[in-house]
Structure 1
Amino acid sequence: METVFKILVIGARGVGKTSFVQQYVHRIFTENYKITLGADFAVKVLQWSETETIRLHLWDIAGMEQSLPLCRVYYRGAAGCLIMCDVTRPDTLVSAYHWKTDVDENVQQLDGSPIPCMFLANKCDRSDRQLSTEEIRKFSQENNFIRWSETSVKENKNVLETVR
């Protein structure tokens, strides 16, 4: 049996969304990605059991807040989402709040509740970090994320463990 889940990957421009998707799906990292226009798409296949396969459709949504209303077309059918920030840029935490609010208001499960969202604080390997673990934990809790994690896509820290 095969089950398909559409997962949104959203957040401010430059937080590492495309890098995350590439590391998670293909186990590659490069520092030279082109800016995502609209959305990009990747598939990760997980063998859940001998009889069950899970196919994650990861939708990497462009991170420009001014185009947020246009991005809503990509939300349709989403089962969950990953919202990312960059620990070296506190403004991306504010952006993450706006993205989370928008997803909660525009994407619902069958029972009308918001889809589950995880919060990823990326670039935790960097020495110029400006957001503390405590700030991230508090933000995640206050905004009803189901889970949060500090990641370093570059060093492949907590990438594969994030979506299991």
Structure 2
Amino acid sequence: MNEHLLKILIVGDGTVGKSSFVHRYVSGQFNNMYKMTMGVDYSVKLLLWSDKEKVRLQIWDIAGQERFISMNRIYYKGALGCVVMFDVTSSASFLNCRHWKQDLDNKAILPNGDFIPCILLANKCDLAQRVVSADSIDEFSKANGFVTWMEVSVKENKNIGEAMRRLVQEILSVQSSLDPLQPRPEECVNPQLDSECNRAAGCC
């Protein structure tokens, strides 16, 4: 059985729900205890993609605090896909997605020079206090080169698996078109060997 190793980044402002999203996706559980991610948190999930293919995801949850931005070039190395997340009850977190996407496009490039596939996720869609409209998200997503966007609720487990499946599908499609240039798994930085990568459990 073929196994694909895919490094996926999760980026966005602090407190939008990135770590909760990863925890829900990897373990199936919701953790409402907030603990700020310092630097990067690292998780692995194995998917049985088809009868002949397995996909091992290295999921890098990048801290949303400005002071960690300078480290992102190291964290982004070898990434093949990205989730940019914001909180629909926070217009600032939505506006900052432009900064996250530009930073990503500057630092994470595929071997053929293209940007890595990126999906935009609107979290906390279960909350009545939403301030960001679907029309605004759709327009922003198209204007900034996202593969697609989805509303998600980590708390209610809405669209979590679906969003990641859509991203993995896009990554595999892109990788198959560049196969001879596909980066080797060892090009991914191992956060357990990187002193700058301080693992912090909890939700962000």
- In structure 1, what is the equivalent of residue 74 of structure 2? 73
SS in 2 for 1:6: strand
> What amino acid is aligned across from residue 46 of structure 1 in structure 2?
L
Higher helix fraction: Structure 1 or Structure 2? 2
- In structure 1, what is the equivalent of residue 39 of structure 2? 38
- In structure 2, what is the equivalent of residue 120 of structure 1? 121
TM-score (norm 2): 0.78
**Bigger mean CA offset, 67-76 vs 87-96:** 67-76
Structure 2 gaps of 5+ residues are: 166-204
Deviation at 1:159, TM superposition (A): 0.5
Looking at structure 2, the residues matched to 13 and 56 of structure 1 have their Cα atoms a distance apart, in angstroms, of 23
Q: Mark the structure with the bigger radius of gyration.
A: 2
Superposed CA offset, 1:81-127 (max 9, x none): 00000000000012111010000111111100110110001000001
Deviation at 1:44, TM superposition (A): 1.2
Deviation at 1:3, TM superposition (A): 0.8
Superposed CA offset, 1:37-87 (max 9, x none): 000011111101222110011100000134212222100000000000000
Deviation beyond 3 Å, 4+ runs, structure 1: none
1:151 aligns with 2:184: no
Looking at structure 2, the residues matched to 4 and 91 of structure 1 have their Cα atoms a distance apart, in angstroms, of 34
- In structure 1, what is the equivalent of residue 58 of structure 2? 57
- In structure 2, what is the equivalent of residue 20 of structure 1? 21
Higher strand fraction: Structure 1 or Structure 2? 1
- In structure 2, what is the equivalent of residue 8 of structure 1? 9
The question of whether the paired residues in 2 share the 8 Å contact of 1:149 and 1:158 is answered with yes
The question of whether the paired residues in 2 share the 8 Å contact of 1:18 and 1:33 is answered with no
Looking at structure 1, the residues matched to 7 and 143 of structure 2 have their Cα atoms a distance apart, in angstroms, of 25
Looking at structure 2, the residues matched to 53 and 156 of structure 1 have their Cα atoms a distance apart, in angstroms, of 24
> What amino acid is aligned across from residue 144 of structure 2 in structure 1?
N
Deviation at 1:33, TM superposition (A): 2.8
1:48 aligns with 2:49: yes
Structure 1 gaps of 5+ residues are: none
> What amino acid is aligned across from residue 102 of structure 2 in structure 1?
T
TM-score (norm 1): 0.97
1:160 aligns with 2:176: no
Q: What is the number of equivalent residue pairs in this alignment?
A: 164
Give the structure, 1 or 2, with the largest relative contact order (CA under 8 Å, sep 6 or more): 2
Looking at structure 2, the residues matched to 116 and 146 of structure 1 have their Cα atoms a distance apart, in angstroms, of 6
